[in-house]
Chains A and B, each alone.
Chain A
Amino acid sequence: FSTFPGSPKWRKNHISYRIVNYTLDLPKESVDSAIERALKVWEEVTPLTFSRISEGEADIMISFAVGEHGDFYPFDGVGQSLAHAYPPGPGFYGDAHFDDDEKWSLGPSGTNLFLVAAHELGHSLGLFHSNNKESLMYPVYRFSTSQANIRLSQDDIEGIQSLYGARPSSDATVVPVPSISPKPETPVKCDPALSFDAVTMLRGEFLFFKDRHFWRRTQWNPEPEFHLISAFWPSLPSGLDAAYEANNKDRVLIFKGSQFWAVRGNEVQAGYPKGIHTLGFPPTVKKIDAAVFEKEKKKTYFFVGDKYWRFDETRQLMDKGFPRLITDDFPGIEPQVDAVLHAFGFFYFFRGSSQFEFDPNARTVTHTLKSNSWLLC
């Protein structure tokens, strides 16, 4: 990594930003969300915090422009230069400009706004380009579903922490730092010992999460695809606890520790993560083991240890009379489940390398399978 000449940095930890205008390529809330997530990338590894203002001069002014736009670095149409940003300081310093001749997107097609914004905001905070190809601050744009290049590398983390230090470890809400080095082991789908962190459906597909990856099984292709979580949802952590699709709202809720995120398609919704206690859990609940939505009843079941809670998605409230013991209502299912899926009228409980098909009408386990049976193993 490197910093700008003279190593300019903000002399305060609370920094304001303002989105001055918007691209027409994306809904405004998607731009807001991408910028918010891009700032969070840096916030998670430093003592810095960011607040958005809607008028006046912010430390970081974010704008979309084409061609000559009032500085000495005109944009150049489609391709080549995508954006630029200035190092910390007064006036235009710290500002980030995005070339609106690009086709801004939230996914792999076009130019991914979150990825570019995270890079540019790195400049706004004082990082110069890195010659480490794996780093976010490498100058050449790459969006590959097979690479973890949209996460902070150790190089980026060391760079930003050389300016601002690390996030105080006493902060209980700290999210584990996403890092690409050292690389954790890649899970193998037909490993007989394979277990899952979380399982959910998404728009008719089955998703099986494990560490930094997930398998995606569609109805059209029985051979599951294997992806990095970060390739679809760059701001999500790895090693998830639970996930479920509230398909009456076209969103998937993802849980890790005391926080949860909402995603719609490949877009993480603005305003997340939120605390799990906002759903109505008591303070004693520190994390969720598994979650599943039963669409016929519009109820979500949350499994924690040997108990489960039932959440009414219509009222957005926990049902009274819960928690109840898992074994009381799901006889044959052992406490502490890893993940649960609801499909074809059955509940599928995952625990370690085993999977239990449970018939809710007969209130009995009808089949015991390997966890990875869904992956054609």
Chain B
Amino acid sequence: YPLHGAVRQDHSTMDLAQQYLEKYYNFRKNEKQFYKRKDSSSVVKKIQEMQKFLGLEITGELDSNTVELMHKPRCGVPDVGG
């Protein structure tokens, strides 16, 4: 997964991002690990969707603001309608 110059992400951050997007943004579960995906476009789109919804700068990257917000406690209701 390309990081576009952002700080190198460790696996725990990637795991968190994958779980976060799956849980709250209907990200399609994939057998492959999030950080090993060859095609990153859907991941970037989902991150952008999350950043837009949460009022963050839309970078499509797991920048520090995005990761920080993902660590915060929140309501369990997904942010996208099922």
Chain A residues in the interface with B (C-beta under 8 A) = 4-5, 73, 75, 79-85, 99, 102, 111, 116, 119-120, 123, 128-129, 131-133, 139-142
Contacts and interface: CB of A to CB of B under 8 A. Distances in A.
Interface string B47-82: 000001111000000000000010011111101011
Contact of A111 (B73, B79, B81, B82): B73
A120 B54 CA distance: 18
Contacts of A132: 55
Contacts of B77: 84-85, 123, 128-129, 139
Nearest to B73: A141
A4 B79 CA distance: 10
Given A4-B81, A5-B81, A140-B69, A131 B55 contact: yes
Contacts of A129: 53, 75, 77, 79
A81 B76 contact: yes
A128 to B, nearest CB: 7
Contacts, number: 59
4 tightest A-B CB contacts, nearest first: A84-B76, A81-B76, A5-B81, A141-B73
B76 A128 contact: no
A119 B69 CA distance: 18
Chain A binding surface, main DSSP class: loop
A131 to B, nearest CB: 5
Interface of B: 23-24, 52-55, 69, 72-77, 79, 81-82
B37 to A, nearest CB: 23
A124 B23 CA distance: 20
B52 A82 contact: no
Nearest to A132: B55
Given A4-B81, A128-B81, A129-B79, A140 B74 contact: yes
B72 A131 contact: no
B54 A140 contact: yes
A5 B72 CA distance: 26
Contact of B79 (A5, A80, A139): A139
Nearest to A6: B81
14 contacts: A80-B73, A81-B73, A82-B74, A84-B76, A99-B76, A102-B73, A123-B77, A128-B77, A129-B79, A131-B54, A139-B24, A139-B75, A139-B77, A141-B72
Nearest to A79: B73
Of B24, B52, B69, B74, chain A has the most CB atoms within 10 Å of the CB of: B74
A4 B82 CA distance: 9
A150 to B, nearest CB: 14
Nearest to B69: A140
B76 A75 contact: yes
Contacts of A81: 23, 73-76
Contact of A140 (B23, B72, B82): B72
A369 to B, nearest CB: 46
Nearest to B75: A139
A78 to B, nearest CB: 9
Contacts of B53: 129, 131
A154 B51 CA distance: 23
Contacts of B23: 81
